[in-house]
Structure 1
C-alpha cells in the first residue's frame, strides 16, 4: 500500500502489508522464543535492553529522519527519539525492584504459608497510532519485554517509515530480535495480531478502540486501551496569568495539537478572562508553520489526511454557529500538505462539535465562567476523561478542583505533565480508555499473571475428612 507524505501530499512510500498467515507465523515464533527470554532473568533482560538503547543512540539520526518524514515535524521527532531512549533507561532502573518477588508470608490460617510468584504473558500485542509513531510503539513494549514477554507491534499504516530503521536497531541487538517483531499494514493486519496474542495494548481513537475491545473480548484476552481525549483546563481568578497563558499555549499547540494529552478546552474565570485571553492569543499568534523549512517554526502539518476532513467539519460547524476566531481559524495547503492555523476560538457552546468531539489540531476553545464550580461542571460534561489542568495560586483550591475533575492525570499550574512524569499512575476515565495504568509501577504489572504457592507447613488441615 502507498503512504502519503504529510508535507507534500504525495504517495511516495510503499508499505508492505503483512498477511494474516504471516502474523500467525511470527506470533508462533515469538511464543517459541519467549521461554528462553524469560529464563534470562531480570538481570539478563536489563542487559539486553541497555544494549538496545545503545543501538537506538547509534541509529538516532536515521530514526529522527524517518519519524520526521512520517510526521512532517522535526523538533518533536528529535524529542520523541530521545524520550524513547530515556524510557528504556528508566525501566531498566525500575523494573528489577517493581517485579522483585516478595518473601513468603504466613496466611491468616497460621499453619499455611504463601509464596507469591508470577509468570509473564507469552506474547503481547501492541497496536500504535500515528501521532508519536516510535514512542507509542515502544512505550508499552519496553516494560512488557522487561517483564519477560515477547512482543509484536503493528504501527499505524499512516506513519510506518520509521519501521525500517527500527528493525535495523533490533537486528543489531540479536538477543532481542527473536522476541520483538514489527508488522506493517492496515486494519486487517491489526485484527490478525489481536487474534493470536495473549494480551493487547492499543492507542488510538475511541471508535477504533471500542472495536478493538470487542475483538479482544471475543478472544478472551485482556485489553489495555488508551483512547481519545478532550482535555480541559481551568484557569481560576487567582491564577498567574503569565504562567497559565504560556503553559496553555504550549499544551494546546505542541505537535500541532495532535496529541491525546492536548488541552483543547479552557474555562477561565470572568474576572481575569480579558487579560488571560489577550495574553494567550498574543502568544499563539507568534507560532509559525514549519514550512518550507521543517526545522523552522513550531507548527507542523496535519499528519493524517483523514484528519483534515474532521478539522474542517469542526471549524465550519463552530463558525457557522457563532464561534469567533480570535486568531487563525483556517486550514491552509502549503506545498501539498495541510496545515491548521494556530487557532483560539471563543463564544463557543456545547452545541458545537469543536467543544464536544476530539479535534486533534492546533485549535483551542476558550469559555468564560463565573465560578470554579461552573468550570468543573463544564469540564466534566464530556464523554472523555484522559487528563486536565488547573491553574490557581491557592494550592488548597487547586487540589480541591483537581479532585472534582473526572480525568486520570491532572496537571497543576502547568500543562500536559503526564507526558513527562511517567512514574505517576493514572487511568483513563469514561470513553478515554480502560485497563490498568500505562504509567508508574502498575504499568509493568499489566504484563504478568500473578501466582501463589500455598504450602501446608506440617499441620493436619481441620477440614480434612476424619477417618
Structure 2
C-alpha cells in the first residue's frame, strides 16, 4: 500500500492497506493442465488468498503428483470433477478465475454474478499475424510457424490466421510451407503432439473441409491422422483463405495456418480486427516504427512485434483481453497479484477543529 499522505482537506490524512480475497476458485482448462492450473493459483497465494483449483476432467493426471509436492500449511487444494463441480465451486468462493471457451466463460460469469463475486475470465482467441512488405520474411515464416503449431496449436495465444502484403505473399507462402513440411509429429521424433480431445480433431477436420470447399489450397498437412490410438494433425498451411471460411473466423485450436493476401496495412488491420476475439496478435514489418504503428491500431491485448506468441514466454507485460477474449485484471506483471487484493482506505482527521460541514448545534 502507498505511504500515508495528506488529503485535499486540511488536517485529513489518507492511508490504507490491501485485503486479499479469502478463497479464490480457479477453474482451469485441459491444455497445459499444470501450467494453467497454477498460473492464477500462485499469484493468488502470493496475495495471501487460499486457493481451490478445479482442473479439467479431461487431463487430471497431474493432480496427484502435484499435491505430493504441496507443503503442509500452504492453503492450496485441488479437486477433481466435471462442469457440475466447477458450478458448485463458484458458490463457495470469494472470487473465481476461469480459463477456457467464451461460451463456458459466459456461464461462469453469470454464476458469479448471481452470488456477487468477481470473475476473472481468460477466454478464446483467433490471433492474427500481419506480415507487411519489407519484413524479414524468413524470420516471419519461422516465428509464425512456431506460434501457430506449438503444442499442436492448442494454445489460446496461437497464431490462427495470417495476412500478408500481396507483393510479399508468394515468397512468404513458399517459405512457410517449406518450413512446415519439415516439422514432424512427436511419435516420429518431431515437436508436434497429438490433438488432446477427439472432438477437437473433429472440429479441425470440419474447418479444413469447409475451407477446401470454399477454394482454399492445402500446401502441407490437411488431414487428421491416427497413430497409437491418438489423433494427430501435421502443420497445415493453407492459401487462398478468406473470411467466408470457418478457419479464418472461428477458433481452430489446431496446427493450422491459413494465409490471405492483403492490399497493405489498412486492409490487414481491418481484417485482423474483424473478429469477436481480441486476445493477442503479431506484426512483422521493417522499420520497427511501421510495425508499431500497425500494432497500435489492433484491438488486442498483447501484440508481438517481429515475433509471434511472445505472451507464452514473456510474463512481465500487463495486458487485458479485448472483446470476448476475456474480462478482468491482467494475469501478467504486478497486476497478476494485485487483482486478488481489495484496497482499503483509512481517512484520518488529525484536526481538533470542528468540520465546517457538520450540522450546527448549540453547545
- Please point out which of 49, 72, 81 is paired with 1:174: 72
Which residue of the partner structure matches residue 43 of structure 1?
none
What is the aligned residue count? Answer: 360
Q: Where does 1:149-188 land on structure 2 (aligned, <5 Å)?
A: 149-170=49-70, 173-176=71-74, 179-188=75-84
Q: Tell me by how many angstroms 1:224 deviates.
A: 0.5
Task: Give the Cα–Cα distance (whole angstroms) in 1 for the partners of residues 298 and 325 of structure 2.
Answer: 14
Q: Tell me by how many angstroms 1:320 deviates.
A: 1.3
SS in 2 for 1:318: helix
* Structure number with higher strand proportion: 2
Which residue of the partner structure matches residue 213 of structure 1?
109
- Please point out which of 341, 347, 357 is paired with 1:448: 341
Does residue 122 of structure 2 align to residue 222 of structure 1? no
Structure 1: 4+ residue segments shifted above 4 A:
none
Does residue 92 of structure 2 align to residue 196 of structure 1? yes
Which residue of the partner structure matches residue 462 of structure 1?
356
Task: Give the Cα–Cα distance (whole angstroms) in 2 for the partners of residues 269 and 465 of structure 1.
Answer: 71
Task: Give the Cα–Cα distance (whole angstroms) in 2 for the partners of residues 341 and 191 of structure 1.
Answer: 36
Q: Tell me by how many angstroms 1:306 deviates.
A: 2.1
- Please point out which of 125, 129, 133 is paired with 1:237: 133
Which residue of the partner structure matches residue 149 of structure 2?
253
Q: Tell me by how many angstroms 1:341 deviates.
A: 2.0
SS in 2 for 1:201: strand
Q: Tell me by how many angstroms 1:328 deviates.
A: 1.0
- Please point out which of 132, 140, 146 is paired with 2:40: 140
Which residue of the partner structure matches residue 307 of structure 1?
200
SS in 2 for 1:209: helix
Task: Give the Cα–Cα distance (whole angstroms) in 2 for the partners of residues 410 and 165 of structure 1.
Answer: 36
Per-residue CA deviations over 1:144-199 (Å, capped at 9, x if unaligned) read 101110000000111000000001011xx1121xx100000100010111111000
- Please point out which of 103, 106, 113 is paired with 2:6: 106
- Please point out which of 254, 275, 283 is paired with 1:390: 283
- Please point out which of 269, 274, 293 is paired with 1:400: 293
SS in 2 for 1:243: helix
Does residue 156 of structure 2 align to residue 270 of structure 1? no
Task: Give the Cα–Cα distance (whole angstroms) in 1 for the partners of residues 227 and 254 of structure 2.
Answer: 16
* Structure number with higher helix proportion: 1
Task: Give the Cα–Cα distance (whole angstroms) in 1 for the partners of residues 81 and 190 of structure 2.
Answer: 32
Task: Give the Cα–Cα distance (whole angstroms) in 2 for the partners of residues 450 and 222 of structure 1.
Answer: 14
Does residue 13 of structure 2 align to residue 120 of structure 1? no
Does residue 185 of structure 2 align to residue 289 of structure 1? yes
Q: Tell me by how many angstroms 1:317 deviates.
A: 1.1
Task: Give the Cα–Cα distance (whole angstroms) in 2 for the partners of residues 304 and 462 of structure 1.
Answer: 68
Per-residue CA deviations over 1:378-433 (Å, capped at 9, x if unaligned) read 00000100000000121221111000000000000001111111110111111101
Q: Tell me by how many angstroms 1:318 deviates.
A: 1.0
Per-residue CA deviations over 1:442-466 (Å, capped at 9, x if unaligned) read 1211101110010111232111122
* RMSD of aligned Cα (Å): 0.9
Unaligned runs of 5+ in 1: 1-100
**TM-score w.r.t. length of structure 2:** 0.98
SS in 2 for 1:165: helix
Q: Tell me by how many angstroms 1:141 deviates.
A: 0.7
Unaligned runs of 5+ in 2: none
